Amino acid sequence: MAEALTDRAAAAKATTTETMIVAAARQLEGERVCFVGIGSPNLACNLAKRTVSPDLELVYEAGVFGAVPARLPLSIGDPTLVTGAASVSSMFELFAYYLQAGLIDVAFLSGSQIDKWGNLNTTVIGDYANPKVRLPGSGGACEIAINARKVFILMPQTKRSFVEKIDFVTSPGHLAGKRPAEWAGVGPTIVVTGLGMYEFSDDGVMYLSSLHAGVTVEHVRDNTGWDIDVASELRETHPPTAAELSLIRETLDPHGTYSR
């Protein structure tokens, strides 16, 4: 058992990733069905289930609904997701009957590049036919971006990832502010990075809504490839509490695989 931390000491000791995980977890308050990814989104969802959202149902792309992972899952189809789950269905059923039918309230996505409308690239850096870097591609991200009721984006922020123009639109966000109303989902509502949290205006444009402790607006501008809007009432992200940090460090990710 690690030495008990006070909230102040906890905040001082939180890693950037822990701050992101905690900020994202708190946003899951009141949500019911969450499509989870491996790594930090998995930690955020499992943290939320133990704090702000005990009734959260975790859905994994592998077809698992109502997962109760007894250990940290290291892949999207980890066997610990299956044992004790409410349901395991085929991937067709998962994508058609759960996702496309609108049963997913929130889904987590990430990307190598994002633009100010929350469009994401996970396919290629450079030209598709002559790639500089070949990235993994869509996986389920494209249909998740369209059909999940809303999307939370969790990704590191640098000038190379927050860019004016992404090289390839894998997963549509708010397009150029013209996301069709008939799509099942409203698109990305929140972006959490190591520097702060972002929301989207009615026109679908990303703006800085909250700064993590110790980060300045200038910091954010230095790490954004466009002239980013800033909320008139900019908040400071409430730092991780000792209780949140000890859940991450002692229960959810004891080896620090995804949180250090």
- CA atoms 151, 44, 165, 201: torsion sign: positive
Residues 194, 13: Cα–Cα separation, whole Å = 14
Among candidate residues 18, 57, 61, 244, the one labeled active-site is 61
CA distance 87 to 14: 35
* The residue to which tokens 């992101």 are assigned: 20
Q: Interface with another protein by CB under 8 A: which range of 45-53, 162-170, 194-202, 225-233? A: 162-170
Strands 229-236 and 206-211, by their bridges, are parallel
Could you say whether residue 115 binds another protein (CB under 8 A)?
A: no
Residue 58 in the binding site for another protein (CB under 8 A):
no
Known catalytic residue at 61: yes
Of the candidate residues 133, 181, 202, 218, the single one contacting another protein (CB under 8 A):
133
Which residues pair with residue 35 across a beta bridge?
59, 107
Q: Which stretch binds another protein (CB under 8 A): 2-10, 60-68, 202-210, 242-250?
A: 60-68
- Report if residue 141 touches another protein, rule: CB under 8 A: yes
- Check binding of 66 to another protein (CB under 8 A): no
User: What residues from 207 to 236 belong to the interface with another protein (CB under 8 A)?
Assistant: none
Q: Does 136 bind another protein (CB under 8 A)?
A: yes
Nearer to another protein, 2 or 132 (CB): 132
Which CB sits closer to another protein, 12 or 74?
A: 74
Q: For the CB of residue 139, give the shortest distance to another protein in the complex, in Å.
A: 4
Instruction: Name which of residues 18 to 57 contact another protein (CB under 8 A).
Output: 38-39
Q: How many CB atoms lie within 10 A of CB 203?
A: 10
Interface positions with another protein (CB under 8 A): 38-39, 61-64, 74-79, 81-84, 88-92, 95-96, 99-100, 123, 128, 131-143, 146-147, 168-172, 175, 180, 183-184
